[in-house]
Structure 1
Amino acid sequence: MTRSTPDPTRRPTRPSAAVYRRRRAVALLLLLLVVAGVAWGVTTLLGNRGAAADAPVEPAAVESTGTPSPAPSPGHVAVCAAEDVTAQVAVEPSGTGVSVEVSMRNSGEVPCLVDVAPGALVTEIESGSDAVWSSAHCAGDATEELLLDTGATTPVTVSWDGHRSAEGCPDEQPQAGPGTYRLAVALDGAPLGENEVFTLG
Structure 2
Amino acid sequence: MDPDTVRGDGGDIYWRRRMSVLVAVLVVVAVVAWACSSGGSGPERESRAQSSPSVSATPAVDPLLSGLRTLAMGTASPSPTPTASPKPSPSARPKRPGEPCADEDLVLHLQGGGKEPIYAGGARPSFLVTLVNTGPVMCTADVGPRAMEVRITSGSDRIWSTADCVSGEGTDVKQLQRGVPYVRSLEWDRRRSSSDCRATPPSALPGTYVAMVRMGKLRSPKGVFHLR
Q: TM-score range by the shorter chain?
A: 0.5 to 0.7
Q: How does 1:40-189 map to 2 (within 5 A)?
A: 72=96, 77-92=98-113, 95-140=122-167, 141-188=169-216
- Higher Cα radius of gyration: 2
Determine if contact 1:133/1:165 at 8 Å carries over to the other structure: yes
Determine if contact 2:109/2:213 at 8 Å carries over to the other structure: no
Partners of 2:135 and 2:178 in 1: CA distance: 6
Determine if contact 1:113/1:145 at 8 Å carries over to the other structure: yes
Partners of 2:187 and 2:220 in 1: CA distance: 17
Q: With the length of structure 1 as denominator, give the TM-score of the two structures.
A: 0.59
Tell me the SS of whatever aligns to 1:83: helix
Cα shift at 1:159: 2.3
What letter corresponds to residue 126 of structure 1 in structure 2? T
Distance 1:83 1:71, change over 3 A: closer
Cα shift at 1:101: 0.6
Q: How does 1:16-31 map to 2 (within 5 A)?
A: none
Determine if contact 2:145/2:162 at 8 Å carries over to the other structure: yes
RMSD over aligned Cα atoms: 2.2
Partners of 2:159 and 2:91 in 1: CA distance: 51
Structure 1 runs not aligned, ≥5 long: 1-65
Partners of 1:191 and 1:70 in 2: CA distance: 23
Tell me the SS of whatever aligns to 1:97: coil
Distance 1:152 1:173, change over 3 A: same
Determine if contact 2:103/2:218 at 8 Å carries over to the other structure: no
Tell me the SS of whatever aligns to 2:136: coil
Larger proportion of strand? 1
Determine if contact 1:86/1:192 at 8 Å carries over to the other structure: no
